[in-house]
Amino acid sequence: MSRRFSHALVVGVSGGIGLALADGIGDTGLADQLSGWSRRRCEGPIRLDTWSPVDITDESSIAAAAAELGEVDLVIVATGLLHRDSRPPDTIGLAPEKTLRALDPVAMAEAFAVNAIGPALVAKHVLPLLPRSRHSVFAALSARVGSIGDNRLGGWHSYRASKAALNQIIRTLSIELRRTHPAAICVGLHPGTVDTTLSGPFQSAVAPARLFTPAIAAGHLIDVIENLDTQHSGDVLDWAGKRIPC
């Protein structure tokens, strides 16, 4: 069941997957109008109708951009944080923890700020802009490692926990959204392992057939979005449209 949208918003549009999603939406004609939010302007021949500077850890920037957005019926939050080199004195280094001894409260708080609280703040200001009486989608990029039931290896405490928190937020939002926007769908989407800076240091164990380019990953996610129905609301789905246990 293929769907089309009037106005799509990609949050994190300057990132690898966000940029590919925006390109894919433009190439497929998935939406008549396309807006993008990101901390920095996009590079490349991306076709955006509007762009706003937004830091998802800064609610005031989200609120200001949402005030200018108008009605929107497809929202994709494509932001995420897994690792980062330190750049003193402004930032600290981040890396997936191999053991509990590596936990750092500041790094853990930042993982939650970007991976869970940020998408929740976007939802706070954007969900009221969804149409009340017709099909709409709010989607946030999650990860299979955020699944509690599927966790068999341990480690990566901050990233796993922040994505698990995002999954719970998605489920909770879907329940509230059902009361006010019965045709709306709220989902988490797992793009698989994508060849971006986020996954770069962790690709060695990934089979080549399972390492997707951003364009291929975006194509998979667009296919999933086009075939969503209200029965999917509150779920986390992988790139093939299969439900991931929370």
Amino acid at 48: L
Please say whether the beta carbons of 32 and 232 come within 8 A: no
Query: How far, CA to CA in Å, does 200 sit from each of 33, 34, 50, 110, 224?
Result: 32, 28, 30, 20, 25
Most confident range (mean pLDDT) of 132-136, 146-150, 190-194 is 132-136
Asked if 71 and 111 count as a contact pair (C-beta separation under 8 A), the reply is: no
Q: Which CATH number fits domain 5-238: 3.30.70.100, 3.40.50.720, 2.60.40.10, 1.25.40.20?
A: 3.40.50.720
Sign of CA pseudo-dihedral 117, 140, 178, 59: positive
Q: Which of 49-53, 86-90, 108-112, 131-135 has the lowest mean pLDDT?
A: 86-90
Tell me how crowded residue 215 is: count the other CB atoms within 10 A of its CB.
Answer: 17
**What does pTM read for this prediction?**
0.91
Residue 246: the pLDDT is 80
Contact 19, 48 (CB under 8 A): no
The domain spans of the chain are 5-238
pLDDT of residue 101: 92
| Backbone torsion region of residue 12, taken as left when φ is above 0, otherwise alpha when ψ lies between -120 and 50, otherwise beta | left
For residues 115 and 51, the answer to whether their CB atoms sit within 8 Å is: no
